[in-house]
Chains A and B, each alone.
Chain A
Amino acid sequence: MTRITMNRIKPWLDRSGMGSVLLLALLLAVVFPLAFDLFRLNLVGKYLSYAFVALGLVMLWGYGGVLSLGQGVFFGLGGYGMAMFLKLEASDPVTTKIQSTPGIPDFMDWNQVTALPLWWEPFRHFPFALVAILVVPTLLAFVIGFAMFKRRVGGVYFAIITQAVALILTVLIIGQQGYTGGVNGMTDLKTLLGWDTRTNGAKYILYFLTVALLIGAIVLCSSIQKSKLGTLLLAMRDKEDRVRFSGYDVAMFRVFAFCLAALLSSIGGALFTLQVGFMSPSLVGIVPSIEMVIFAAVGGRMSLVGAVYGALLVNFGKTYFSESFPDLWLFLMAAMFLGVVLAFPDGLAGLYANKLKPWWMRRRSRRSEATDQATAASPGRPGGPAGTPAGGRSEATWGLS
């Protein structure tokens, strides 16, 4: 009986390319919780919140061909949105009665702020905070994206300007200590609607919530990739003018990709705050924003599942090396940037699809003496293990020339 179901499931997996997603889900939801203790699992959860940013970058950079160096901004906005709500809940008048003004966050009190600023007030309500986490970064991305892409700014200039936005937000947060917590950020976050997020049970629940949302995001993104919209994004990346001359509004599609990436980053930021219990400007600025690009690049800029593996691997490496060999870590990071650019432009996913998979196919075909060489030697830039369609530069799709 299992054989029959397997026979029915396998073609579906091959066809939809969901096999690798299922494998990832199994790894995250079953293997990791069994294999790691809670401390390590919490770390994995933290890395997975970065993976949201990497997913967004796959859509924006790999598919849309637009590199943003300011994804930390959106990660930070999501994280700060959540942190503001949690901080207000943690600073009720009873616990903060030793302050000169009870009932306001401790860092405000330290900075001689005597009343809660007006723009903090709505963050007392959880639904508002949730909506703000989802809407504010998307709106900001829309404004930036609309202004830039409508004027056909792309590539390098877009990267520099998004980087400047990251710098602006960091300087603003650090400069306005009394309202944002400054360099230290917002710490001592305790409860979510009365539910203590620091207990072991809560940590497990938050981990599984993160995994569920991440898998959901992957499924959403891969359905976008397979839709006409995904094909259009790819076409725009490769031959922008042809798409424009076919009557499509190139700018608005790019704006959409940028907004999607911002939304995903923001969700990641909110989950980060929940799991780690603080938010600080060190996760907003230029350096973390570029590091998030390397997660996507190491995993493979065209592969959604690869981006998650990339985020996990780079962060595991970072934790391990900066504990054991702190001097080596930056060199390794440098080698990763250079290697991913010069030697493996498609990252781990490319390595799997170009080297490992053909080798495995050859082995299997030799054993069964089937001569299906055509699939084994699939050429070009394949979409990685996610099995993305039209992963290559398919000019034939736009046969207008």
Chain B
Amino acid sequence: MTFSEMLNIGLMQGFAGLSLFSVLLLMGLGLAIIFGQMGVINMAHGEFMTIGAYTIYFVSHLAESYAPKLVAAYFPVAIVAAFGFAFAAGWAVEWLFIRHLYRRPLDTLLATWGLSLGMQQIFRSAFGAKEVSPTLPDWLMGSWAPSAGLDIPINGLFVMALTLVVTGGVLLALYRSRWGLRVRATVANRVMANATGINTRQTDRLTFAIGCGIAGVAGAAFTTIGSTGPTSGSLYIVDAFLVVTFGGAASLLGTVVSAFGIAQTQSIAEFFITGSMAKVLTLSLIVLILMIRPQGLFAAKVRR
């Protein structure tokens, strides 16, 4: 094996790790807002991702049957639609259920789990039990080969770029916008925020809906990697919670760092042992570290 071959393997391995990192981060971002900032355990988070994924499938179907020329351009529009649908669903769910349960976190957990079951059945009734995948535009297919023997899949690059944009957007919104200010004020001291004229109830609802919308974008991005079924959202949920908890619940930076750490551990371990054992190893490490340091990597300096 020559040096350049080894370099290529190393690069592709590194890319696989980065790719997993962006997937985990995208999953965790919405939850970092809902769970990290608001403290709501949303077990239906995976189903909001599935909403986004099915939106892409639906829009691609529409584009194919009514405007075949636009197939190359539908994807960005569909991602916006995915955000919109998941946002609206999140808004409704908060209004119907979550707002009654803010003081009872464990009950929220059960209620949202029930919600996720109901949503799965709705998906199954509407789109069938079989897994579907949208027709992807040509520019998302294939791979990019900067030199011989080095293949970087384009869909991986796309997910990575989208993750970058969404993370930047969330950071910007949280630290530079009026909404972000209101959220941070509410998280820091609800009563005081209310007293200064912030409508905390409305802030809660908007925050929950935005978190769900980001989940929808994540789901949309995942259609470029794998197919979508009624229960595919539930596969992500534990990983997403671990990413947020491991990073330190209230810290967005922690979520980024923990997603990076988990992804690299997993993909490096996969190089030496089987995929399932690598997963066992990674999860066990996370659980062990959380037992020693329950507050996660980055503890919030907020008085609760």
Please measure, in the bound complex, the distance between the C-alpha atom of A239 and the C-alpha atom of B115, giving whole angstroms: 31
Contact B245 A159 (CB under 8 A): no
B137 located at the interface, meaning its Cβ lies under 8 Å from any Cβ of chain A in the complex: no
Contact B115 A161 (CB under 8 A): no
**Chain B 37-62, CB within 8 Å of chain A: the 1/0 string?**
00101000000000000000000000
Main secondary structure of the interface of A (DSSP, over half): helix
Given contacts A168-B287, A174-B276, contact A159 B118 (CB under 8 A): no
- In the assembled complex, how far is the CB of residue A314 from the closest CB belonging to chain B, in whole angstroms? 12
B286 located at the interface, meaning its Cβ lies under 8 Å from any Cβ of chain A in the complex: yes
Given contacts A160-B241, A168-B287, contact A175 B111 (CB under 8 A): no
Contact B277 A164 (CB under 8 A): no
Contact A171 B118 (CB under 8 A): no
B162 located at the interface, meaning its Cβ lies under 8 Å from any Cβ of chain A in the complex: no
- In the assembled complex, how far is the CB of residue A327 from the closest CB belonging to chain B, in whole angstroms? 6
Contact A338 B97 (CB under 8 A): yes
> Which residues on A sit within 8 Å (CB–CB) of B113?
290, 337
Please measure, in the bound complex, the distance between the C-alpha atom of A330 and the C-alpha atom of B91, giving whole angstroms: 23
Contact A148 B294 (CB under 8 A): yes
Please measure, in the bound complex, the distance between the C-alpha atom of A175 and the C-alpha atom of B275, giving whole angstroms: 9
> Which residues on B sit within 8 Å (CB–CB) of A290?
110, 113
Contact A156 B106 (CB under 8 A): yes
B142 located at the interface, meaning its Cβ lies under 8 Å from any Cβ of chain A in the complex: no
Given contacts A286-B238, A327-B121, A334-B117, contact A168 B110 (CB under 8 A): no
Contact B107 A171 (CB under 8 A): no
Query: Which chain B residue shows the least CB distance to A146?
Result: B291
Most buried by B among A152, A155, A161, A174: A161
**Chain A 139-167, CB within 8 Å of chain B: the 1/0 string?**
00000100110011101110111011101
Number of interface residues of A (CB under 8 A): 43
Binds B, one of A27-35, A93-101, A340-348, A357-365: A340-348
Contact A159 B115 (CB under 8 A): no
Given contacts A161-B290, A341-B101, A345-B107, contact A168 B280 (CB under 8 A): yes
Please measure, in the bound complex, the distance between the C-alpha atom of A336 and the C-alpha atom of B39, giving whole angstroms: 24
Please measure, in the bound complex, the distance between the C-alpha atom of A350 and the C-alpha atom of B108, giving whole angstroms: 20
Given contacts A160-B241, A164-B287, A171-B279, contact A334 B114 (CB under 8 A): yes
> Which residues on A sit within 8 Å (CB–CB) of B125?
327
B274 located at the interface, meaning its Cβ lies under 8 Å from any Cβ of chain A in the complex: yes
> Which residues on B sit within 8 Å (CB–CB) of A152?
294
Contact A164 B106 (CB under 8 A): no
Please measure, in the bound complex, the distance between the C-alpha atom of A89 and the C-alpha atom of B136, giving whole angstroms: 54
Contact A175 B291 (CB under 8 A): no
B23 located at the interface, meaning its Cβ lies under 8 Å from any Cβ of chain A in the complex: no
Q: Which of B110, B241, B283 contacts A341 (CB 8 A)?
A: B110
Query: Which chain A residue shows the least CB distance to B116?
Result: A334
Given contacts A171-B280, A175-B274, A297-B110, contact A331 B118 (CB under 8 A): yes
- In the assembled complex, how far is the CB of residue B112 from the closest CB belonging to chain A, in whole angstroms? 9
Which residues of chain B (92-144) have a CB below 8 Å from chain A? Answer: 97, 100-101, 104-111, 113-115, 117-118, 120-121, 124-125
- How many residue-residue contacts, CB under 8 A, span A and B? 114
Please measure, in the bound complex, the distance between the C-alpha atom of A309 and the C-alpha atom of B134, giving whole angstroms: 46
Please measure, in the bound complex, the distance between the C-alpha atom of A61 and the C-alpha atom of B106, giving whole angstroms: 10
B27 located at the interface, meaning its Cβ lies under 8 Å from any Cβ of chain A in the complex: no
Q: Which of B108, B121, B238, B241 contacts A330 (CB 8 A)?
A: B121
A386 located at the interface, meaning its Cβ lies under 8 Å from any Cβ of chain B in the complex: no
B284 located at the interface, meaning its Cβ lies under 8 Å from any Cβ of chain A in the complex: yes
- In the assembled complex, how far is the CB of residue A307 from the closest CB belonging to chain B, in whole angstroms? 15
Which residues of chain A (263-302) have a CB below 8 Å from chain B? Answer: 286-287, 290, 293-294, 297
Please measure, in the bound complex, the distance between the C-alpha atom of A152 and the C-alpha atom of B291, giving whole angstroms: 10
Please measure, in the bound complex, the distance between the C-alpha atom of A180 and the C-alpha atom of B205, giving whole angstroms: 46
Which residues of chain B (248-304) have a CB below 8 Å from chain A? Answer: 274, 276-277, 279-280, 283-284, 286-287, 290-292, 294
Please measure, in the bound complex, the distance between the C-alpha atom of A383 and the C-alpha atom of B15, giving whole angstroms: 57
A23 located at the interface, meaning its Cβ lies under 8 Å from any Cβ of chain B in the complex: no
Please measure, in the bound complex, the distance between the C-alpha atom of A330 and the C-alpha atom of B121, giving whole angstroms: 6
Q: Which of A159, A340, A342 contacts B106 (CB 8 A)?
A: A159
Please give me the 10 A-B residue pairs with the lowest Cβ-Cβ distance, nearest first: A337-B114, A175-B276, A334-B118, A330-B121, A147-B291, A153-B294, A341-B111, A334-B114, A341-B107, A334-B117
Q: List 15 A-B contacts (CB under 8 A).
A: A69-B109, A148-B294, A159-B109, A160-B238, A163-B241, A168-B280, A171-B283, A175-B277, A286-B238, A330-B117, A335-B114, A341-B107, A341-B108, A341-B110, A341-B114
Known: A161-B290, A175-B274, A338-B114. 4 other contacts (CB 8 A): A153-B294, A168-B280, A331-B121, A341-B101
Residues of A within 8 A of B (CB): 61, 67, 69, 144, 147-148, 151-153, 155-157, 159-161, 163-165, 167-168, 171-172, 174-175, 286-287, 290, 293-294, 297, 327, 330-331, 333-338, 340-342, 345
